[in-house]
């Protein structure tokens, strides 16, 4: 570690950036104030201290937060970590069902000559799903749901809104 970097309370290096240090200090002061008030109130209200410390007092785990905000990342970053702890298998395990991410299949399968969403569904999407049924008894296709209080909704709002389209059978597939 260079002399420019310090170790923060959570063990990660932090540059000598006054704004970051001020933000981190403010978060720690808020946490300290919250814990001291709750710690004092717990016995006087016949609270159970071991029970009190079992629960999170933040909207998300501190390991996933930085300066009071949720850390951002990409799912693809997890692949490197997962490759280190997993083993490749030579034979696929025998399973009864497969769960497929519908959005991934749409991104993966080129529309080819299909011009409408109906043609895409009939000529590309459904044949892919039917091929999956050759090795399992059941295939479930799941799609993203953007709930109001989810990380996906927050990320989507930060990115802004693109062109929204109503997808119907006769609708033309966009070129891009």
51-75, pLDDT tens digit by residue? 777 776 666 676 777 666 677 777 7
**Is 118 in the same domain as 175?**
yes
Residue 88 domain-assigned (yes or no): no
**Is 64 in the same domain as 118?**
no
Taking the mean position of all CA atoms in its chain, how far away is CA 84?
Answer: 20
> How many CB atoms within 10 Å of residue 120?
20
Taking the mean position of all CA atoms in its chain, how far away is CA 145?
Answer: 12
- Specify whether the CB–CB gap between 99 and 140 falls below 8 A: yes
Residue 106 domain-assigned (yes or no): no
Residue 40 domain-assigned (yes or no): yes
Structural domain including 126 reads 114-147+155-176
**Is 119 in the same domain as 64?**
no
Residue 4 is predicted with a pLDDT of: 47
Residue 81 domain-assigned (yes or no): no
Residue 88 is predicted with a pLDDT of: 79
Residue 38 domain-assigned (yes or no): yes
Residue 91 domain-assigned (yes or no): no
Residue 74 is predicted with a pLDDT of: 77
**Is 66 in the same domain as 121?**
no
Residue 59 is predicted with a pLDDT of: 66
* Below-70 pLDDT ranges, the chain: 1-17, 56-60, 62, 66-69, 161-162, 176
Q: What is the mean pLDDT of the chain?
A: 78
- Specify whether the CB–CB gap between 168 and 121 falls below 8 A: no
Residue 31 is predicted with a pLDDT of: 76
Residue 90 domain-assigned (yes or no): no
Residue 68 is predicted with a pLDDT of: 63
Per-residue b or e along 50-88, where b marks 16 or more CB atoms closer than 10 Å to that residue's CB:
eeeeeeeeeeeeeeeebeeeeeeeeeeeeeeeeeeeeee
**Structural domain ending residue among the three candidates 47, 70, 93:** 70
Q: Look up the pTM and report it.
A: 0.50
Residue 19 domain-assigned (yes or no): yes
Q: How many domains does the chain have?
A: 2
DSSP summary character for residue 34 = H
């Amino acid at each position: 570690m260079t002399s420019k970097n310090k170790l923060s309370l959570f063990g990660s290096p932090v540059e000598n950036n006054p704004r970051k240090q001020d933000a981190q200090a403010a978060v720690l002061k808020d946490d300290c104030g919250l814990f001291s008030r709750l710690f004092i109130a717990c016995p006087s209200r016949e609270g159970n201290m071991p029970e009190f410390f079992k629960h999170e007092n933040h909207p998300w785990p501190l390991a996933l937060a930085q300066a009071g905000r949720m850390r951002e990342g990409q799912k693809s970053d997890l692949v490197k970590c997962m490759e280190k702890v997993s083993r490749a298998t030579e034979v696929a395990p025998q399973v009864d069902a497969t769960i497929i991410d519908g959005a991934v299949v749409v991104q993966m399968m080129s529309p080819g000559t299909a011009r409408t969403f109906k043609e895409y569904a009939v000529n590309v999407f459904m044949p892919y799903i039917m091929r999956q049924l050759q090795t399992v008894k059941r295939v479930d296709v799941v799609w993203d749901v953007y709930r109001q209080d989810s990380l996906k909704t927050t990320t989507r709002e930060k990115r802004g809104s693109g062109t929204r389209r109503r997808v119907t059978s006769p609708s033309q597939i966009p070129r891009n």
